[in-house]
Structure 1
């Protein structure tokens, strides 16, 4: 009887290891980069200087996992679909690049590098929501403030939504990136109206 059990146990062991390997393959982490799609361009170095402050984000956004809002209004953070870098840094970089492209007549300075006394204006952005939904949308909301010195010239609230073109985290990341471009376009339009 022992001779019969050994081959059966061997087959069970192989089947079990095969199942573990398939499970490990399904749970492989994927990393997503929130990149700017801005094409190359040239700019004049004259014009007002606008300092772009580092974007502040809600705590749940600045986690390694990509966030999804469930139908029950719970935030679920992905375990295997992760940001390649801290979201607050990536969002700041994308907004800066998009604004720089949209505001050819201005000099934009990344606020992470200081030099505030040389700024004519400063732009601060706070992002409260930056996630996907189970209903298949990308969502960005928050507010931004344009200041001249210590005086707020404009304060704007934004709430942007975009349906995902297809299911999946790659489509979500691409849609969030497009929403950041939309936000930069809105900011640029207001900045152009309010500043000389």
Structure 2
């Protein structure tokens, strides 16, 4: 009876050890920047600057953070991800930074708001 009890305990311990798997938790990252109030009247601006969406190619626009390995290989992480696609984060970051730095410019993302009077003072940034 003692032998059966030892075998039973060993079997339970073995099964419980096999059932415990360690899963890595997924971590999400975002660019760290202060959020500023972005409200400006068109009458108080000299010019308009439209920011096009940043174009990233290949593995750089992957939500998994890219790591460069030896021999110029790129690997995307599985458990360390950007909170949104890098091209959108870079566009939003550029928009906020330019809006903050250019006090008398109307910095916009997306479609421009251009009237006939604004044609001479309209600029577009693409990178």
Task: Name which of 6, 9, 16 aligns with 1:7.
Answer: 9
Structure that is richer in strand per residue = 1
SS at match of 2:77: strand
Equivalent residues of 2:38, 2:99 under 8 A apart: no
Q: Which residue pairs with 1:121 in the alignment?
A: 123
**TM-aligned CA distance change 1:117 to 1:13, over 3 Å:** same
* Superposition TM-score, scaled by structure 2 size: 0.78
TM-score computed with the length of structure 1 as normaliser? 0.53
Q: How many residues align?
A: 118
- Once the 2 structures are TM-superposed, how far is the Cα of residue 49 of structure 1 from its aligned partner? 0.9
Runs of 5+ consecutive residues of structure 2 not aligned to the other structure? none
SS in 2 for 1:5: helix
| Equivalent residues of 2:65, 2:76 under 8 A apart | yes
Tell me how far 1:43 sits from its aligned partner. Answer: 5.3
Q: Distance in 2 between matches of 1:38 and 1:4?
A: 63
- On the 8 A contact 2:61/2:87 being kept in 1, the answer is yes
Deviation readout 1:66-93 (Å, 9 max, x if unpaired): 1111233211100001111121111100
1:33 aligns with 2:30: yes
Tell me which of the two structures has the higher relative contact order, counting C-alpha pairs closer than 8 angstroms and 6 or more residues apart: 2
Aligned partner of residue 60 in structure 1, secondary structure:
helix
Retained in 1: the 8 A contact 2:63–2:81?
A: yes
Unpaired segments ≥5 residues, structure 1: 126-196
C-alpha distance in structure 1 between counterparts of 2:34 and 2:70, whole Å:
31
1:61 alignment counterpart: 60
